[in-house]
Amino acid sequence: MSQFVPRRSAVFLAAVVVTVGALTAPAAASAAPADDWSFYQPPSPLPDGQDGDVIRSEPARFYSAPLIPLPASAQRIMYLSRDALGRRIAVTGAVLTPNTPWPGPGERPIVSYAIGTHGLADRCAPSRNLSTGTEFEAAFMTKLLTLGYAVALTDYQGLGTPGTHTYVNRLAEAHAVLDVVRAAQRLPVANLPDDGPVAIVGYSQGGGAAGAATELAPDYAPDLDVVGGYAGAPPADLAVVADRMEGSYTVGFVVYAAAGLAAAYPELDIPAFLNDRGRRLLAQVQNECAAETIALHAFTRTADLTVDGRSLGDHAREGRIAARVAEQTVGRHRPAAPVMVTNSVTDEGIPFERTRQLARDWCDLGATVNFQPLAAPGHGGGFFESFGRMLPWLDDRVAGRPAPNNCGSF
């Protein structure tokens, strides 16, 4: 579709795509068997081990849609990782080994699939949604599996497991995305190579997590053979994204980010900046999945949630909060692997110009960057076009072909 679709139509389409998909998360929770929840309770104390070591695993029946099994052998896992301050934590996720042999050259590659915004409630975790066929990103995972890629999927810190999900926290998400690959490599039943090629992919929240993981990999996970990273519509600068989402249908996701900051850095005392309504909303969204948040809080002004009447985006640029928000910026470290960056020119949630700036920042650091502007309307439309463009690029990275680099042309 043309990029000249009216903005209102683009926003509506994206809202429909995100809302319809996210509505599946509450359904997954209600259908989950009671014994499913006990898996997500970490042992105390945590066992000794290295980052990425498997704490526990169990065979799982995962579905791409209700009653339609994923074309893979599936394991639900809990593994060791690190939070934003480097403290040891337990994170859950899934490892999916395709039923078919790898058709390409070399060993079967593992794709670390970073999910987009699902919500903050534990019942929104993708490894739970897959159990009932209500995971709205399962179609993209299924496509990877049918092409022979193994998929390692993280729930991120606090999504599924106890505690608040540290939403869009650069380090916590990057650690979880990298460590789930280590867990997949160390899980004997998954039958995956322990030193094979690794790709990191994600869109929206997942795009930020994938970008952060790709640039962090040389230092945090030099043992992984990362051949490429794809960052679709990444929230590379949280203050800029907060401004764009202010008063929009996705403004609740800005409150998610505030909750994530409060969980990762209690010393910020985020509730002190909020009025009574703001504190109630901060607590409420921690028990919601994305569609619920859209339905309940769309078009709220965060300026109406603060003590001084200024928006959360304004607060993100000042005082003690500003330094922590700045730490979440993606694009300040050079990815050693080639990267692909995409965004729709009409994205109503993640500003196109800021995504282009991320690609330029990586170019300036000497990275190999393929930046792809998308014509599909809005954030939701960009998801589908972006994924389609990513697949051939991913095949080339795994095959060892020279990576395209269009730095200097955008």
3-state secondary structure of 82: strand
* 174 and 248, same domain (yes or no): no
Q: What is the pLDDT of residue 329?
A: 98
Q: Tell which residue, 112, 327, 143, 118, has the closest CA to residue 230.
A: 112
Q: CA neighbours within 13 Å on the CB side: how many for 232?
A: 28
Give the residue from 304, 326, 348 where a domain finishes. 326
* Total number of domains constituting the chain: 2
| 1 within domain boundaries | no
Two tokens, residue 31: 């259908």
In 316-351, which ranges are continuous DSSP H helix? 319-327
| 408 within domain boundaries | no
* 63 and 97, same domain (yes or no): yes
* 217 and 271, same domain (yes or no): no
Burial 246-277 (b: 16+ CB within 10 A, else e): bebbbbbbbbbbbbbbbbbbeebebeebbeee
* 338 and 208, same domain (yes or no): yes
Give the residue from 326, 352, 375 where a domain finishes. 326
Q: What is the pLDDT of residue 12?
A: 32
* 356 and 279, same domain (yes or no): no
Q: What is the pLDDT of residue 36?
A: 53
| 311 within domain boundaries | yes
* 382 and 249, same domain (yes or no): no
| 409 within domain boundaries | no
Residue 100: how many CB atoms within 10 A of its CB?
Answer: 11
State the pTM of this model: 0.92
| 156 within domain boundaries | yes
Report residue 159: phi and psi, to 5°. Answer: -110, 105
| 405 within domain boundaries | no
Residue holding tokens 């996210």? 22
Per-residue confidence in pLDDT tens, the chain, 410 aa = 222 223 333 333 333 334 334 333 333 333 344 345 799 999 999 999 999 999 999 999 999 999 999 999 999 999 999 999 999 999 999 999 999 999 999 999 999 999 999 999 999 999 999 999 999 999 999 999 999 999 999 999 999 999 999 999 999 999 999 999 999 999 999 999 999 999 999 999 999 999 999 999 999 999 999 999 999 999 999 999 999 999 999 999 999 999 999 999 999 999 999 999 999 999 999 999 999 999 999 999 999 999 999 999 999 999 999 999 999 999 999 999 999 999 999 999 999 999 999 999 999 999 999 999 999 999 999 999 999 999 999 999 999 999 999 999 99
CATH of the domain at 263: 1.10.260.130
| 271 within domain boundaries | yes
Residue holding tokens 């985006």? 313
* 178 and 290, same domain (yes or no): no
* 286 and 225, same domain (yes or no): no
Query: Please, which residues bridge with residue 373 across strands?
Result: 343
Query: Please, which residues bridge with residue 77 across strands?
Result: 57, 93
The whole-angstrom separation of Cα 274 and Cα 277 is 8
Q: What is the pLDDT of residue 19?
A: 36
Residue 83, domain extent = 7-237+329-399
CATH of the domain at 65: 3.40.50.1820
* 127 and 255, same domain (yes or no): no
